[in-house]
Every structure is written in structure tokens, then in C-alpha cells.
Amino acid sequence: MPASGELWEPPCRQSLRRKFGCALVGCKRGLRSESNFFVHFFVAAMVVAAAAVLGANLLEWCLLVLCIAAVLAAEMFNCAIEHLAKAVTREQNKLIGTALDISSAGVLVAAVGAAIVGVLVLGNLLAHSLGWW
């Protein structure tokens, strides 16, 4: 982010290092300031720990990591839309409200899908480790 008084430079003109720096700042802000992002991040850490303990194979790891990335990305997009909405206006606006509802629904869809994949993958691993099949 530019310092106070400094002009914002479009991402296409920034160096690759600066683009990654801005992305990392965004991740940090998301994790620190958004409670939902922190919850998703905590659940993701628990899934990674469970997969490690249960001995997930490469395909299972790929499925779990892809689901985790999808949920965290959806939460970041939702957070970005919320911040843009606040920057546009603080007044009630039906179109902005609809956009916020849709972006929240996107997070819900990603989270439910990831939960289903997590239950299937980790449940199968647990069943195998307990000798159920």
C-alpha cells in the first residue's frame, strides 16, 4: 500500500516483488481483522493436522488443500467486496446489500463444499485406520 500522500499505482505497473508484497499485506489484514477468516484459517489448520495424523495420500492432500484454498479465497473476496461497499457509501443501498449477500453466499457454498470433501476424505481415512473397512 502506498504511504499517505503517495499516489496509488495500478498493479500492472508494479514490480512482481511489490505485487507479492501487497498480496501478503492483504493476507495479513484478512487474518488479523476478519473474524470469519480467522475461523476458516483455524479449521484449515485442524484439517491439515488430521490429514497428517491419518496419513493422507497425495490425491487426498490435493483435494483438501484445494478446498482450503477455495474457502480462504472466497472469504478474502467477500472481505474485499465488504470494504469496497463501505468505501462507496455508508448509507443503505439495495444493490450493495444484494452484492454483499451474494458474496457471503459464495463463502457459504465454498465452505459447505469443503466440509463435505473434508468429511469424505478424513472420514474414509479414519474408517481405514480403525479397521472399519
- Domain definitions of the chain by residue range: 34-129
**34-129, what's its fold?**
Helix Hairpins (1.10.287)
* Other residues' Cβ atoms within 10 Å of the Cβ of residue 57: 10
What is the reported pTM?
0.82
| pLDDT score at 8 | 62
Mean pLDDT score across all residues of the chain: 89
Buried b (16+ CB within 10 A) or exposed e, 60-76: beebbeebbebbbebbb
pLDDT single digits (tens) 100-123: 999 999 999 999 999 999 999 999
pLDDT single digits (tens) 2-34: 555 566 666 667 788 888 898 898 888 877 777
